[in-house]
Amino acid sequence: MIDAMKKRSGQFNPKRRMLKIEECDFYALSLLSSQAKYGGNPEHKKNPGDFNLTPPSSPRAGKSLCDAVKVFTRHEALKLLRKGIKNGLVSDRFIGQWPKNVWSVMDDETPLEAQLESVEQGSYHGYPMQIEDPFCEEVIKQWRIRSELAES
């Protein structure tokens, strides 16, 4: 069992780029968001919740845990993922119709990141971003801007 999170070793991915606002088709992203699925990854879970993962949980040192931000249900994880897509917080890199990464922000302004795990199913797994990640600030800033645009 992991009692404390180990600091991440190595660098954060400097190649991550968010799709530019002017390239966001919020209508198409809204449609895409309704098709997205949430798979999950046992390496980001201490409490297995209702994710039905195999193994149910397998927290790994250096991985951020969903438990730390109280995401315990697949429904909640899926809702956050879909909101990120709908709000245009998606990677500028797509594999087929799916963005490689999606970002979302919780009500308490905790930034989350999701990675595409199955292009065939449109399935992602996500995790809280680490505070040391310089991209956190950009995610929160863009969340505020794009949330309003996606609604209009």
Pull the structure tokens for residue 103.
Answer: 């970002």
Nearest of 106, 108, 109, 102 to residue 88 by alpha carbon:
102
pTM: 0.82
Whether residue 132 contacts residue 48, with contact meaning beta carbons closer than 8 Å, is answered with no
What's the confidence (pLDDT) of residue 57? 53
pLDDT tens per residue across span 43-102:
655 566 556 555 555 555 666 656 667 776 889 989 999 999 999 999 999 999 999 999
Task: Decide if pLDDT at 132 tops 50.
Answer: yes
Return d(Cα 49, Cα 37) in angstroms, integer.
17
- Output 150 or 11, whichever has higher pLDDT: 150
Pairing of strands 123-128, 37-38: parallel
What's the confidence (pLDDT) of residue 94? 97
Q: What proportion of the chain, given as a percentage, has pLDDT over 90?
A: 57
- 40 alpha-carbon distance from chain centroid: 10
